Structure 1
């Protein structure tokens, strides 16, 4: 199993698990909460088939990566991504993030710049800022996040059931776009995450990305479901698009938060239209 070391905690290394498939221009897939890089299984074949090199990785605390007791903030997450990009020497990469993964893209580009990045895709975006404050009246009340924290601390297993119900819009997609087996598999993956990471990552949803977003200087595609119950559409995607008017916004009507799984044809089609097929090696 391939790992990249991003730090250490006491006597234990902090390693990120990653997969690296194919050849061609690199695409880095950054998963959402509370899953892992395995969540991209409906995108990986399409990208490989189009001639891209496809890299997924598990965020610290999730999947097969280390589960440290600290480092659950977007400065650290962006540093982890930067280590991956540097260690694999990725150049002209496409960054694609879902949910929490969109925060890595914003903070990475805002902090480290776009020297290694060709373009970016945010799916079910977290930015620009989800928390309601005096200077961000379009956000959500702090009490909502505090309720999530209380639920995760009280009964992490029950919390993940509630979360996945909203993640998939389960009453609407059950047996149609999401099978009972897929739901169960995602629940098993969710509860395998570190209890510390599960709790601490909720706090990161209140991160302010408004200073990062103007520093995004590569073409950006925004894909979002209009019926997203985790990161509500009116509070997220249109606002990000307004801050970056040269970006492209694709709205999937009546679609939930989990669109990489529930609407793969639409998501993959939008991605491929945006990034195109790579040039043949001799032409690059």
Structure 2
């Protein structure tokens, strides 16, 4: 598999398939690039070049003890785009992968961005007086300890057993189970805590390129309303809610998600 090296000497793995306009796929916390397999094939068939990136600490990329922050993960996207020579990218991120994109945009702007798709990621994880679409139960008062024992069961959304068909579908397409990173290492715990502290609402509101906010109606982590509320102050934004769908929208409802994704990309061009 091809690799690139970041400006702080970390080797990142990526997948590269197809020709045409570049689509960069960035998976969420602990998930490897291969979890986009159900989108990769569809995008290649639609005439896109698909680059799926393993973030540091994820998939086959190097897992250093340093750089476990959203700021650094955003810089990695900049290094990656420069290394592969992509100057007009469609960026698609799932969960923390979407936050990685907003981190990149907040630091480097949208000069090299054609459009953005966020897959079930609220722009602000902490609930507050002016934001009720954060992670269920997460407040500023408990943020410091909320994820100490991993990602808690919120009691919301689709129960875990209903996600089994999605995992089987993914494993069948890959002919193997995806290689998930451990959430229990010090760098991954630090990354999750840093992710929980971020607020991308201003970055999203100021985005000057088309963007689509996708939400799962039955997400286990936060209300689907985050998608609509993230576009109401920016005419370039659109939102869609997938019914009977959990947090992993591109895996739970791949057909519906792919349709929404391709329709949005078609409108961009």
Equivalent position of 2:213 in the other structure: 222
Deviation at 1:60, TM superposition (A): 0.8
Structure 1 position 132 matched with structure 2 position 127: yes
Aligned to 1:91: 87
User: How many residues are aligned here?
Assistant: 262
1:80 aligns with 76
CA distance in 1, matches of 2:158, 2:19: 32
Gaps of 5+ in 2: none
Are 2:205 and 2:230, in contact at CA under 8 Å, matched by a contact in 1? no
Counterpart in the other structure of 1:282? none
Gaps of 5+ in 1: 153-158, 280-284
Structure having the higher Rg:
1
Rate the CA distance shift 1:137–1:98 in 2: closer, same or farther, 3 A: closer
Q: Is 1:274 equivalent to 2:248 in the alignment?
A: no
Structure 1 CA distance, aligned partners of 2:216 and 2:170? 23
**Structural mapping, 1:170-249, within 5 Å:** 170-174=160-164, 176-179=165-168, 182=171, 185-186=177-178, 189-191=180-182, 195-203=185-193, 204-234=195-225, 236-249=226-239
Deviation, 1:166, is 8.1
Q: TM-score, normalised by structure 1?
A: 0.81
Evaluate the alpha carbon distance shift between residue 94 and residue 67 of structure 1 in structure 2; reply closer, same or farther with a 3 A threshold. Answer: same
2-side partners of 1:66 and 1:16: how far apart? Answer: 6
Contact 2:210/2:268 (CA < 8 Å) preserved in 1?
A: no
Shift of residue 94, structure 1, vs aligned partner: 0.7
SS at match of 2:201: coil
Of stretches 202-211 and 133-142 in structure 1, the one that deviates more from structure 2 is 133-142
> What CA RMSD, in Å, does the superposition of the two structures yield over aligned residues?
3.0
Higher helix share: 1
SS of structure 2 residue aligned to 1:232:
coil
